[in-house]
Chain A
Amino acid sequence: MSLDTAPTGPKAAEERVGAKPTGNGGRYSAQSRLGGHAPRTERTGRALPFDDPRHLQAHQWMVEEAYILDAQNYEDWLDLLTEDIHYIMPVRVTTALTAGFDSAPHMAHFDENKYSLSRRVARFLTEHAWTEDPPSRLRHHVTNVRTFATPNEGEIVVDTAVLLYRSRGDVREASVISAGREDLLRRGGEGWQLARRTILVDDSVLRTQNLAVFL
C-alpha cells in the first residue's frame, strides 16, 4: 500500500464529537460560559488528502498567520477573524486516566470574543504596553497540519501543532510553549477567516511570564 492511496491516520475514522478526540478538538468551546455565541460546527469523516485544494489552502493560511503573529502585526491578524469568533485556551490539569476531563472546569487562560481580542490588540497600539516593549522575538512553528470537511460547504476544521519560541532581553531564558490547535475556518468574501480556535496547551503550569502574545 503506497502512502499516496492510504486512507489518513489509523484512528481518524473513529473521531467523533464526545469521544476522546485524537485531534485537538473537544467540547471546550461549547462548555464555556462565554462560548454561547460560538459556532458549533464539527469535523466530519477522515482528514482530507494532502493534495485536496481545501487542505492546501488551509495549510497556506496557517503559515501566513504564523508570520503575522511572529511580526506582531495584530491589526492584520484581527482582520483574519470572523465577528463571531471564539478563541479559547483551556487550563489543562493533570487528572487520573479515567477521570474523563483534562482541563479546569469553568476556567481558561483565553476565553475571548472579537471585542476582547480587539481590546488586547488596541492595548499594543498604545505606547504603554510595557510587557511587549521592547517586543519579544517570536517564532510560531506550525506543523502537523490536517484538514477536515464539515457539514457546511464553506467551513473546514484544521488541526495543527504549534511551538512558540519567545525570547526577551539578553539574560533571561527564552520561554517555549507547545500546544495543539483546532481551528474552524470559514470562507468569506476575502478568503478564509478564523471562526473558532481551541488551543490545548501542553503544560498545566505555564513557563512564560504571561500570555500577552497569541498562539
Chain B
Amino acid sequence: MTDLDLVLGDVRRGMVPAHIYNDEEIFRLEKERLFSRAWLFVGHESEIPQAGDYVVRRVLDDSFILSRGEDGQVRALFNMCLHRGMQVCRAEMGNASHFRCPYHGWSYRNDGRIVGLPFHKDAYGGEAGFKRKGQTLLPAPSLDTYNGLIFLSMDPDAPPLREYLGDFTFFLDYYTRQSSSGIELRGPQRWRVKANWKIGAENFAGDMYHTPQTHTSVVEIGLFREPKAEKRKDGNTYWAGNGGGTTYKLPHGTLEEKLRYVGYPDVMIEKMKEQWSQDQLDVIGRDGFMISAASIFPNMSFVHNWPRVEDSDDVLPFISIRTWQPVGPDETEVLSWFAVDAEAPEEFKALSYKAYLMCFGSTGMFEQDDVENWVSLTNTAAGTMARRLLLNSRMGLLEDGTEVVPPLTREQYAGPGEAHVGYGEYNQRHLLNRWADLLERPAEKVSQVEVSGVPADRAEAGA
C-alpha cells in the first residue's frame, strides 16, 4: 500500500520514489485526479481545415471526434451514441456531414446535433416520449485553442487555457507562430512503448544532461553538431507558466545570423520578425538562446532541432509536437506530429519533414535511444526494490536548497519565468510538483447528463 502523503512529500523535496514510474495505484490516482483536470492537447486546427473534416482522438479511455462543423467551428464530441452507447465514428480521420450509428441508425450532424432517430413516433411516441430537439453528442467538458492547438479538459470548470498555459505562450509562439498563418500539423505517427508517460514529459521538459551521453551516436555520424557536452551546458533551462524547456546557446552574431545558423531562410526570418515581440526576438538575437525541447504539464512535448539532412554542411530545422498518452502504468502511446510553418517555402517544408524523420518520431535516430532507456527504467521500477529507492532529482540545488548557479537576470535573458544556464533538473521538479499538487486533491463529483430524462419520482421504467 502506498502512503500517498509520504510519496508526495518526497517528490516535493526532489527525492523521487522510483516506483511512481510503474505503479497501478499511482496510475489510478493520475487518471482520477490529474487527467480529469488538466488541459490536454488533442490536435491542431490545420488537421481539419474544411467543413466536415474530422479526426478521432482519445483522452485516456475516452474517444472524442474533433469535427469542424458546417459553421466552421471546431468541436470535440464524445464518440458515443446517446441511445445504446455505440461508437458513432469508427474511422480515425475523414470528412463527413453526418455520423450514423451502425447499431440502430441514430444519426448526428457533424456539429453533434441529432437529426435521425428511426421510428421516433412509433417507438417513443415522438417528442412526448423522447425529446429529440436539442439533443447532441456529449461535448468535451472544456475545449479551448491557442495558435490553433486544440486542448480538452475533462473538468467543466477548468480555468481558461490562456491562464493555464500562462507565460509558456511566449515559447509556444516560437514553435507554432513563425508567421501569421501558424503551423501545418502532419501525422501523427503513433506507437506504443512499454514506458511510463511521465518519463518522456520530464525528459523533454528539461533533461539536457542526457543529451551528450544518450545521443552520442547522432553527433558521431554528423547528423547533429550540437549535443556535445560543452554545447549543452551553455544553454539555459527555463520554466514559465505551466511549461518549460531547454535551449542551446548560439554563436555570436545578429538575430538574422543566429536564425540562419539553425537553417531558417531569410524569407521565414522576415516573418518571424513581424510576428514575435521584441522580448521574443531578444531571447534569440540579444541573449543567444535557441529553443530546443520543451513540455507543457502534464503530457505534451515539443522538439526543435537543426540536423544535416543531405551530404553538405547545411542544417535544417524541424519542429515536432507530441503527446505521451497513458495506456497503463507501464505503457504509453506516443503521438508524434511534424509541424511546419504554413507559409514556409515548399522545399523547406519537404526538407524539414525529412529532418524530423531522421531525428524524431517512430524512426528517429534521437528518439530510438531515448525510448530504449525509458522502457528499461519502467521495467525496473515495477518491483519491491524500487519502493526502497528514492532517486535524487535535485540537480542544480545544494543540500540547503540554494541554487548552484543563480537564475539569469533580466539583462541576460529577455524571456518570462525563470531560467538557469548549466546542468539542472529544475523542470523535472516543476513538473512533478504540479503532479503532486493535483494528486493530493480528491476528485470532485462529476455531474451527469440525462438523455431526455424524466424526474426520478415520475419514472415508471420497467413496468
In the complex, chain A residues 82-133 whose Cβ is within 8 Å of any chain B Cβ: 89, 91, 93-96, 99, 104-112, 115-116, 119-120, 122-123, 126, 128-131
Residue A11 interfacial (CB < 8 Å):
no
Contact indicator B367/A210 (Cβ below 8 Å): yes
Chain B residues lying within 8 Å of A104, measured Cβ to Cβ, are: 93, 186-189
Residue A38 interfacial (CB < 8 Å):
no
> Which among A42-50, A59-67, A145-153, A199-207 touches the partner chain?
A199-207
What is the CA–CA distance of A132 and B245 in the complex, to the nearest angstrom?
28
Chain B residues lying within 8 Å of A172, measured Cβ to Cβ, are: 194, 375, 379
B18 shortest CB reach to chain A, Å: 17
Chain A residues lying within 8 Å of B195, measured Cβ to Cβ, are: 209
Residue A19 interfacial (CB < 8 Å):
no
Chain A residues lying within 8 Å of B309, measured Cβ to Cβ, are: 116
Contact indicator B192/A207 (Cβ below 8 Å): yes
What is the CA–CA distance of A211 and B369 in the complex, to the nearest angstrom?
11
Chain A residues lying within 8 Å of B94, measured Cβ to Cβ, are: 95-96, 99
Contact indicator A107/B338 (Cβ below 8 Å): yes
- Residues of A in contact (CB 8 Å), total 41
Contact with B along A179-209 (1 / 0, CB 8 A): 0000000000000000000000000111111
Contacts A128-B217, A129-B217 given; indicate if A208 touches B357 (C-beta within 8 A).
Answer: no
What is the CA–CA distance of A111 and B349 in the complex, to the nearest angstrom?
14
Q: Give 5 pairs: A residue, B residue, CB < 8 Å, sorted on A.
A: A106-B186, A107-B189, A128-B220, A206-B362, A207-B192
Contact indicator A94/B354 (Cβ below 8 Å): no
Residue A137 interfacial (CB < 8 Å):
no
Chain A residues lying within 8 Å of B361, measured Cβ to Cβ, are: 109
B173 shortest CB reach to chain A, Å: 24
Chain A residues lying within 8 Å of B357, measured Cβ to Cβ, are: 108-112, 116
Chain B residues lying within 8 Å of A211, measured Cβ to Cβ, are: 362-363
B365 shortest CB reach to chain A, Å: 6
Residue A171 interfacial (CB < 8 Å):
yes
Residue B456 interfacial (CB < 8 Å):
no
Contact indicator B189/A91 (Cβ below 8 Å): yes
Contact indicator B362/A205 (Cβ below 8 Å): no
Chain B residues lying within 8 Å of A129, measured Cβ to Cβ, are: 217, 368-369
Partner of A95 from the list B93, B187, B190, B364 (CB cut-off 8 Å) is B93
Chain B residues lying within 8 Å of A116, measured Cβ to Cβ, are: 309, 354, 357-358
What is the CA–CA distance of A136 and B1 in the complex, to the nearest angstrom?
36
Most chain A CB neighbours (cut-off 10 Å) among B187, B311, B346, B367: B187
Contacts A33-B353, A205-B333 given; indicate if A122 touches B221 (C-beta within 8 A).
Answer: yes
Which DSSP category, helix, strand, loop or mixed, fits chain B's interface?
Answer: mixed
Contacts A110-B363, A131-B371, A211-B363 given; indicate if A171 touches B379 (C-beta within 8 A).
Answer: yes
Residue A71 interfacial (CB < 8 Å):
no
Chain A residues lying within 8 Å of B362, measured Cβ to Cβ, are: 109, 206, 210-211
Residue B193 interfacial (CB < 8 Å):
yes
Chain A residues lying within 8 Å of B375, measured Cβ to Cβ, are: 172, 209
B248 shortest CB reach to chain A, Å: 20
Residue B310 interfacial (CB < 8 Å):
yes
Contacts A34-B354, A106-B186, A211-B362 given; indicate if A204 touches B371 (C-beta within 8 A).
Answer: no
What is the CA–CA distance of A108 and B361 in the complex, to the nearest angstrom?
10
Q: Which residue of A lies closest to B352 (CB)?
A: A33
- Please give 5 more A-B residue pairs, beta carbons under 8 A apart, in addition to A91-B188, A91-B189, A116-B358: A33-B353, A96-B96, A107-B338, A128-B220, A206-B362
**Which residues does A use to contact B, with CB under 8 Å?**
33-34, 89, 91, 93-96, 99, 104-112, 115-116, 119-120, 122-123, 126, 128-131, 171-173, 204-212
A192 shortest CB reach to chain B, Å: 25
Chain A residues lying within 8 Å of B193, measured Cβ to Cβ, are: 209-210
A191 shortest CB reach to chain B, Å: 26
Those 4 A-B pairs whose CB atoms lie nearest each other, nearest first: A206-B191, A128-B216, A128-B217, A131-B368
**Which residues does B use to contact A, with CB under 8 Å?**
90-96, 186-195, 214, 216-218, 220-223, 309-311, 333, 338, 346, 349-350, 353-354, 357-358, 361-365, 367-369, 371-373, 375, 379
Chain A residues lying within 8 Å of B338, measured Cβ to Cβ, are: 107
Partner of B369 from the list A93, A130, A205, A208 (CB cut-off 8 Å) is A130
B191 shortest CB reach to chain A, Å: 4
Chain B residues lying within 8 Å of A212, measured Cβ to Cβ, are: 363, 368
Chain A residues lying within 8 Å of B190, measured Cβ to Cβ, are: 91, 204-206
What is the CA–CA distance of A111 and B375 in the complex, to the nearest angstrom?
26
B267 shortest CB reach to chain A, Å: 19
Contact indicator B217/A94 (Cβ below 8 Å): no
B353 shortest CB reach to chain A, Å: 6
Contact indicator A123/B191 (Cβ below 8 Å): no
What is the CA–CA distance of A93 and B94 in the complex, to the nearest angstrom?
10
Contact indicator B363/A126 (Cβ below 8 Å): no
What is the CA–CA distance of A176 and B222 in the complex, to the nearest angstrom?
32
What is the CA–CA distance of A123 and B358 in the complex, to the nearest angstrom?
11
Contact indicator B91/A106 (Cβ below 8 Å): no
What is the CA–CA distance of A47 and B112 in the complex, to the nearest angstrom?
48
Contact indicator B92/A204 (Cβ below 8 Å): yes
Contact indicator A210/B371 (Cβ below 8 Å): yes
Q: Which residue of B lies closest to A121 (CB)?
A: B221
What is the CA–CA distance of A120 and B217 in the complex, to the nearest angstrom?
10
Q: Which residue of A lies closest to B374 (CB)?
A: A209
What is the CA–CA distance of A122 and B365 in the complex, to the nearest angstrom?
11
Q: Which residue of A lies closest to B367 (CB)?
A: A210
Q: Which residue of B lies closest to A116 (CB)?
A: B358
B193 shortest CB reach to chain A, Å: 5
What is the CA–CA distance of A33 and B344 in the complex, to the nearest angstrom?
14
A69 shortest CB reach to chain B, Å: 15
Chain A residues lying within 8 Å of B369, measured Cβ to Cβ, are: 128-131
